[in-house]
Amino acid sequence: MWDRLEPGDVVLGDCLFSAYLMVAGIVQRGGDDVGRHHQRRKTEFRRGRRLGRSDHVVPWHKPARPAWLDEATYQQLPDCLEMRELRVRVPRKGFRTEVLTVVTTLVDASAVTADELAELYRQRWHAELDLRALKSALGMDILRGKTPEMVRKEVWMHLLAYNLIRTVMAQGATQAGLLPRTLSFTGARQALEAFREALLLAGARRLASLLAALFGTVVAHRVGQRPDRCEPRAVKRRRKPHPLLTVPRQQAKARLLHRRAA
Protein backbone atom coordinates (compact mmCIF):
# COMPACT_ATOMS: atom_id res chain seq x y z
CA MET A 1 0.00 0.00 0.00
CA TRP A 2 3.03 2.33 0.03
CA ASP A 3 2.24 3.66 -3.43
CA ARG A 4 -1.30 4.53 -2.34
CA LEU A 5 -0.16 6.95 0.37
CA GLU A 6 -0.49 10.63 -0.42
CA PRO A 7 0.78 13.72 1.42
CA GLY A 8 -1.51 14.49 4.34
CA ASP A 9 -2.68 10.91 4.87
CA VAL A 10 -2.73 9.58 8.43
CA VAL A 11 -1.91 5.90 8.93
CA LEU A 12 -3.69 4.41 11.94
CA GLY A 13 -2.33 1.07 13.11
CA ASP A 14 -1.41 -1.16 16.00
CA CYS A 15 1.98 -1.53 17.67
CA LEU A 16 3.53 -3.18 14.59
CA PHE A 17 3.06 0.13 12.76
CA SER A 18 5.10 1.94 15.41
CA ALA A 19 8.48 0.59 14.26
CA TYR A 20 11.01 3.24 13.25
CA LEU A 21 11.40 2.02 9.67
CA MET A 22 7.63 1.93 9.16
CA VAL A 23 7.14 5.43 10.57
CA ALA A 24 10.07 6.82 8.58
CA GLY A 25 8.63 5.43 5.35
CA ILE A 26 5.28 7.09 6.07
CA VAL A 27 6.95 10.42 6.87
CA GLN A 28 8.98 10.25 3.65
CA ARG A 29 5.72 10.13 1.71
CA GLY A 30 4.36 13.20 3.50
CA GLY A 31 2.03 11.31 5.79
CA ASP A 32 1.67 10.93 9.54
CA ASP A 33 1.50 7.88 11.75
CA VAL A 34 -0.67 7.17 14.78
CA GLY A 35 -0.20 3.85 16.52
CA ARG A 36 0.22 2.05 19.77
CA HIS A 37 3.61 2.07 21.43
CA HIS A 38 5.49 -1.19 20.97
CA GLN A 39 5.89 -3.04 24.25
CA ARG A 40 9.65 -3.48 23.75
CA ARG A 41 10.30 0.26 23.52
CA LYS A 42 10.61 1.99 26.89
CA THR A 43 8.87 5.28 27.65
CA GLU A 44 10.16 7.82 30.18
CA PHE A 45 7.88 10.84 30.42
CA ARG A 46 10.39 12.79 32.51
CA ARG A 47 12.48 13.25 29.36
CA GLY A 48 11.89 15.13 26.15
CA ARG A 49 9.78 18.23 25.47
CA ARG A 50 6.78 18.19 27.77
CA LEU A 51 3.38 18.92 26.23
CA GLY A 52 1.20 17.94 29.17
CA ARG A 53 0.66 15.25 31.73
CA SER A 54 2.06 11.98 30.33
CA ASP A 55 2.45 13.72 26.97
CA HIS A 56 5.83 14.63 25.49
CA VAL A 57 7.95 14.76 22.32
CA VAL A 58 11.17 12.74 22.15
CA PRO A 59 13.68 11.93 19.40
CA TRP A 60 13.75 8.46 17.89
CA HIS A 61 17.09 7.53 16.32
CA LYS A 62 17.48 5.29 13.30
CA PRO A 63 18.36 1.71 14.27
CA ALA A 64 20.92 -0.50 12.59
CA ARG A 65 20.05 -1.66 9.11
CA PRO A 66 18.15 -4.97 9.13
CA ALA A 67 19.18 -7.70 6.72
CA TRP A 68 16.00 -7.43 4.62
CA LEU A 69 16.50 -3.70 3.86
CA ASP A 70 18.91 -2.70 1.10
CA GLU A 71 21.61 -0.12 1.82
CA ALA A 72 20.32 2.51 -0.63
CA THR A 73 16.84 2.60 0.93
CA TYR A 74 18.33 2.61 4.41
CA GLN A 75 20.50 5.64 3.65
CA GLN A 76 17.49 7.59 2.37
CA LEU A 77 15.68 7.28 5.72
CA PRO A 78 16.06 10.17 8.19
CA ASP A 79 18.56 9.68 11.01
CA CYS A 80 16.12 10.98 13.62
CA LEU A 81 12.36 11.41 14.01
CA GLU A 82 10.43 13.62 16.40
CA MET A 83 7.80 11.41 17.99
CA ARG A 84 5.02 12.28 20.37
CA GLU A 85 4.27 9.76 23.10
CA LEU A 86 0.99 9.99 24.99
CA ARG A 87 -0.31 7.82 27.81
CA VAL A 88 -4.02 7.10 27.53
CA ARG A 89 -6.14 5.77 30.36
CA VAL A 90 -9.28 3.79 29.57
CA PRO A 91 -11.77 4.24 32.42
CA ARG A 92 -14.57 2.18 30.83
CA LYS A 93 -15.54 -0.95 32.71
CA GLY A 94 -15.11 -4.22 30.87
CA PHE A 95 -12.24 -3.05 28.63
CA ARG A 96 -9.24 -5.37 28.86
CA THR A 97 -6.74 -2.55 28.32
CA GLU A 98 -6.73 0.04 31.09
CA VAL A 99 -3.59 2.02 30.16
CA LEU A 100 -1.87 2.31 26.79
CA THR A 101 0.69 4.58 25.14
CA VAL A 102 -0.07 6.13 21.77
CA VAL A 103 2.81 7.33 19.56
CA THR A 104 2.45 9.68 16.63
CA THR A 105 4.27 12.05 14.33
CA LEU A 106 1.57 14.68 15.01
CA VAL A 107 3.68 16.61 17.51
CA ASP A 108 1.76 19.93 17.46
CA ALA A 109 -0.38 19.82 20.62
CA SER A 110 -2.26 22.98 19.59
CA ALA A 111 -3.38 21.37 16.32
CA VAL A 112 -4.12 17.87 17.69
CA THR A 113 -5.02 17.54 21.35
CA ALA A 114 -4.36 14.53 23.55
CA ASP A 115 -8.08 13.72 23.73
CA GLU A 116 -8.35 13.80 19.94
CA LEU A 117 -5.43 11.39 19.59
CA ALA A 118 -6.94 9.04 22.15
CA GLU A 119 -10.30 9.09 20.35
CA LEU A 120 -8.60 8.61 16.99
CA TYR A 121 -6.68 5.55 18.16
CA ARG A 122 -9.90 4.08 19.47
CA GLN A 123 -11.24 4.18 15.91
CA ARG A 124 -8.57 1.61 14.99
CA TRP A 125 -10.95 -1.04 16.29
CA HIS A 126 -12.98 -0.54 13.11
CA ALA A 127 -10.24 -2.47 11.30
CA GLU A 128 -11.19 -5.56 13.33
CA LEU A 129 -14.88 -5.02 12.59
CA ASP A 130 -14.13 -4.64 8.87
CA LEU A 131 -12.21 -7.92 8.87
CA ARG A 132 -15.18 -9.54 10.58
CA ALA A 133 -17.47 -8.17 7.88
CA LEU A 134 -15.21 -9.67 5.21
CA LYS A 135 -14.93 -13.05 6.89
CA SER A 136 -18.40 -13.50 8.37
CA ALA A 137 -20.83 -11.35 6.38
CA LEU A 138 -19.20 -12.13 3.01
CA GLY A 139 -18.06 -15.67 3.83
CA MET A 140 -14.33 -15.19 3.34
CA ASP A 141 -13.43 -17.15 6.48
CA ILE A 142 -13.10 -20.35 4.41
CA LEU A 143 -11.61 -20.14 0.91
CA ARG A 144 -12.60 -22.89 -1.50
CA GLY A 145 -10.00 -22.47 -4.23
CA LYS A 146 -7.80 -25.47 -4.93
CA THR A 147 -4.85 -23.64 -6.53
CA PRO A 148 -2.95 -20.47 -5.53
CA GLU A 149 -4.29 -18.69 -8.61
CA MET A 150 -7.92 -19.45 -7.75
CA VAL A 151 -7.37 -18.48 -4.10
CA ARG A 152 -6.00 -15.11 -5.21
CA LYS A 153 -9.01 -14.60 -7.48
CA GLU A 154 -11.32 -15.53 -4.62
CA VAL A 155 -9.66 -13.03 -2.28
CA TRP A 156 -9.81 -10.24 -4.86
CA MET A 157 -13.49 -10.93 -5.59
CA HIS A 158 -14.31 -10.68 -1.88
CA LEU A 159 -12.41 -7.39 -1.63
CA LEU A 160 -14.16 -6.06 -4.74
CA ALA A 161 -17.59 -6.94 -3.35
CA TYR A 162 -16.69 -5.44 0.03
CA ASN A 163 -15.55 -2.14 -1.50
CA LEU A 164 -18.65 -1.93 -3.70
CA ILE A 165 -20.92 -2.39 -0.68
CA ARG A 166 -18.97 0.24 1.25
CA THR A 167 -19.29 2.61 -1.73
CA VAL A 168 -23.07 2.22 -1.76
CA MET A 169 -23.14 2.82 2.00
CA ALA A 170 -21.03 5.97 1.61
CA GLN A 171 -23.27 7.30 -1.18
CA GLY A 172 -26.42 6.68 0.80
CA ALA A 173 -24.99 8.17 3.96
CA THR A 174 -23.81 11.28 2.10
CA GLN A 175 -27.25 11.90 0.64
CA ALA A 176 -28.89 11.42 4.05
CA GLY A 177 -26.32 13.56 5.88
CA LEU A 178 -25.08 10.65 8.00
CA LEU A 179 -21.74 9.08 8.75
CA PRO A 180 -21.16 5.81 6.85
CA ARG A 181 -20.10 4.09 10.09
CA THR A 182 -23.62 4.53 11.45
CA LEU A 183 -25.02 2.18 8.79
CA SER A 184 -25.14 -1.60 8.99
CA PHE A 185 -22.85 -3.48 6.62
CA THR A 186 -24.98 -6.63 6.75
CA GLY A 187 -28.12 -4.58 6.12
CA ALA A 188 -26.49 -2.94 3.09
CA ARG A 189 -25.47 -6.34 1.71
CA GLN A 190 -29.00 -7.69 2.12
CA ALA A 191 -30.46 -4.60 0.45
CA LEU A 192 -28.13 -4.98 -2.54
CA GLU A 193 -29.09 -8.63 -2.88
CA ALA A 194 -32.78 -7.69 -2.80
CA PHE A 195 -32.34 -4.97 -5.47
CA ARG A 196 -29.88 -6.92 -7.62
CA GLU A 197 -32.25 -8.37 -10.22
CA ALA A 198 -34.26 -5.16 -10.51
CA LEU A 199 -31.11 -3.11 -11.07
CA LEU A 200 -29.82 -5.53 -13.72
CA LEU A 201 -33.09 -5.45 -15.68
CA ALA A 202 -33.90 -1.77 -15.21
CA GLY A 203 -33.70 0.63 -18.11
CA ALA A 204 -32.17 4.07 -18.05
CA ARG A 205 -35.44 5.75 -17.06
CA ARG A 206 -36.11 3.52 -14.08
CA LEU A 207 -32.54 3.22 -12.86
CA ALA A 208 -32.47 6.57 -11.04
CA SER A 209 -35.61 5.79 -9.02
CA LEU A 210 -34.31 2.32 -8.16
CA LEU A 211 -31.00 3.73 -6.92
CA ALA A 212 -32.86 6.26 -4.79
CA ALA A 213 -34.94 3.44 -3.30
CA LEU A 214 -31.78 1.38 -2.74
CA PHE A 215 -30.04 4.23 -0.91
CA GLY A 216 -33.14 4.77 1.22
CA THR A 217 -33.20 1.09 2.17
CA VAL A 218 -29.50 1.08 3.01
CA VAL A 219 -29.87 4.19 5.17
CA ALA A 220 -32.78 2.60 7.03
CA HIS A 221 -30.47 -0.13 8.35
CA ARG A 222 -28.66 1.65 11.17
CA VAL A 223 -26.08 0.18 13.49
CA GLY A 224 -27.71 -0.63 16.81
CA GLN A 225 -26.94 1.40 19.89
CA ARG A 226 -24.03 -0.50 21.40
CA PRO A 227 -22.02 1.82 23.68
CA ASP A 228 -18.80 0.15 24.81
CA ARG A 229 -20.03 -3.43 24.61
CA CYS A 230 -18.22 -5.93 26.80
CA GLU A 231 -17.89 -9.49 25.55
CA PRO A 232 -16.03 -12.43 27.15
CA ARG A 233 -13.04 -13.74 25.21
CA ALA A 234 -14.52 -17.21 24.76
CA VAL A 235 -16.44 -19.10 22.09
CA LYS A 236 -19.86 -20.62 22.65
CA ARG A 237 -19.94 -22.97 19.68
CA ARG A 238 -18.58 -26.42 20.52
CA ARG A 239 -16.55 -28.30 17.94
CA LYS A 240 -18.02 -31.51 16.63
CA PRO A 241 -16.58 -34.55 18.41
CA HIS A 242 -14.75 -35.92 15.38
CA PRO A 243 -11.04 -36.54 14.93
CA LEU A 244 -9.04 -34.08 12.84
CA LEU A 245 -8.43 -34.85 9.19
CA THR A 246 -4.61 -34.98 9.11
CA VAL A 247 -4.15 -36.51 5.65
CA PRO A 248 -5.47 -35.55 2.20
CA ARG A 249 -9.15 -36.35 1.77
CA GLN A 250 -8.53 -38.71 -1.14
CA GLN A 251 -6.08 -40.68 0.98
CA ALA A 252 -8.56 -40.86 3.86
CA LYS A 253 -11.27 -42.12 1.47
CA ALA A 254 -8.91 -44.78 0.13
CA ARG A 255 -8.27 -46.00 3.68
CA LEU A 256 -12.00 -46.27 4.36
CA LEU A 257 -12.58 -48.22 1.15
CA HIS A 258 -9.68 -50.53 2.00
CA ARG A 259 -11.15 -51.22 5.44
CA ARG A 260 -14.56 -51.98 3.98
CA ALA A 261 -13.04 -54.36 1.45
CA ALA A 262 -11.11 -56.13 4.20
Say what the pLDDT of residue 129 is. 87
- 78, 95, 123 - which closes a domain: 123
pLDDT, tens digit (0-9, with 9 covering 90-100), for 85-129: 999 887 666 555 578 899 999 999 999 999 999 989 988 888 888
Whether 118 and 211 share a structural domain: no
Say what the pLDDT of residue 1 is. 82
Whether 100 and 149 share a structural domain: no
Whether 109 and 132 share a structural domain: no
Which stretches in the chain have pLDDT values below 50? Answer: none
Whether 11 and 111 share a structural domain: yes
In a domain, 229, yes or no: no
pLDDT, tens digit (0-9, with 9 covering 90-100), for 208-237: 899 999 999 999 999 876 665 566 667 666
pTM above 0.85, yes or no: no
Question: What is 65-110 written as a DSSP string?
Answer: PPTTS-HHHHHHS-SEEEEEEEEEE---TT-S-SEEEEEES---TT
Residue 182 domain boundaries: 128-220
8 A C-beta contact, residue 105 and residue 23: yes
CA distance 93 to 230: 8
Q: Which residues pair with 52 in a beta bridge?
A: 55
- 96, 123, 150 - which closes a domain: 123
